[in-house]
Amino acid sequence: MTSITALGGIGGISGVGGTTSTQLGTDGTSGASFGAVLGGVVQGLTDQQNTANSLAVKAVTGDLTDIHQATLAATRAQVTMELVSAVRNKGVDAFNEIMRMQA
């Protein structure tokens, strides 16, 4: 029986909502820009999708002994994609709401 491991792919997203006090400046701004953090998350998503694709090819060709690896990689990529899409949609909604404000 195989052991269950923690989802490691989602750990890269912690910078979006989990800003620690050491990352904050004296004026309350973040040490890393939101765009840089979001760019890192998108890069992580791309890496997860590439891993899922390569494992799927290995599973189809018979080179993968444990099909669960491909299934888990595909699920991780899908969940991360949904999360990134939700964050993007909330960002667009916030921008549109700001644009509708009257001065």
In terms of C-beta density within 10 A (0-12 exposed, 13-18 middle, 19 or more buried), how is residue 99 classed? exposed
Q: Is residue 16 part of a domain?
A: no
**Residue 83 domain flag:** yes
What is the domain count for the chain? 1
Percent of the chain with pLDDT over 90: 50
Tracing tokens 């765009």 back to the chain, one arrives at 35
Selection from 99, 57, 49 nearest residue 73 by Cα: 49
Does residue 67 form part of some domain?
Answer: yes
Residue 64 is assigned to a structural domain of this protein: yes
| pTM higher than the cut 0.85 | no
On whether residue 78 sits in a domain, the answer given is yes
Q: What is the pLDDT of residue 52?
A: 95
Give the range of the structural domain holding residue 89, as residue numbers without chain letter: 33-100
Q: Stretch 56-79: mean pLDDT, rounded?
A: 93
Within a domain: 20:
no
